[in-house]
Amino acid sequence: MILINIFFIYFLSIVNHIKLEKAELLILTKRLTEKQKEEIVECFKFGANVHTLAQKNSCTNSTIIRTLKKNLGELKYKELTNKSKSLKEKSKTNDLLKLNIDNEDSKDHKVLNENITSSDFAPTDSFFEIAPIDYEIDNSSRKELSSVSLSEIDFPKVVYMIVDKKIELEIKLLKDFPEWQFLPQDDLSRKTIEIFFDLNLAKRSCNKDQKVLKVPNTDVFRIASPVLVAKGISRIVCAENLIAL
């Protein structure tokens, strides 16, 4: 009878363990919301790794990878993965170089201290005057390395824009785009329009009072650039570049 009770207790513990594992598996394999998917894609673009995103969203690595490939495409996913690896390798190399430089500086400082004597600080009766530099530095012609000229952009055959119900362009300030927040305040105050190379991305950025407009002829941006500039619009924002009109 005792043996039967022991066996029954052991059987119950196994069943409970299996239930817990199934519950954990269900948690890990839960479906992601559209908002979560968008956040995952954006975080991945800014350097977040798959494992961190999986932990944050309580899902598996394979779920994150599948979501990224579906939303970005296989080529874009591989490109961002390779870019992330390259940045990590570069960071490690820079850290190693900095460590070596610090060690060399420490050695030089030690040798310098050993060679300094009290006579090195003896007062001197002679001195000479350095004339002040008298010229102005012109910063007005500073080249903006962050933007690319419209003439240098090779647009795809078709792009997409977001317009309101009256087919009027949605105009934003550059400061409304988080990825360009590092620019000077003057640049962040520029008026922009946004274009999309991918239809799905355009639809995800569109609210119920807007709609996606297909632009089959991208030469229209070059033709209409004087009109856009006259309206105060000086930049076009896309996923890859900040385009100067």
Exposure of 218 by Cβ count < 10 A (0-12 exposed, 13-18 middle, 19+ buried)? middle
pLDDT of residue 143: 38
pLDDT along the chain (245 residues), means of 10: 50 50 48 88 87 88 89 88 78 66 61 54 56 48 64 89 84 89 89 92 88 90 90 89 88
CA distance 236 to 218: 13
pLDDT of residue 103: 64
Query: Which of 239, 228, 137, 226 has its CA nearest to residue 191?
Result: 228
pLDDT of residue 141: 39
Exposure of 36 by Cβ count < 10 A (0-12 exposed, 13-18 middle, 19+ buried)? middle
pLDDT of residue 159: 93
Strand ranges (DSSP E) for the chain? 148-149, 159-164, 171-173, 191-196, 210-215, 233-237, 242-244
pLDDT of residue 80: 86
CA distance 197 to 212: 12
Q: Which CATH number fits domain 148-244: 3.40.50, 3.30.300, 2.20.110, 3.40.1350?
A: 3.40.1350
Residue boundaries of the structural domains of the chain: 19-102, 148-244
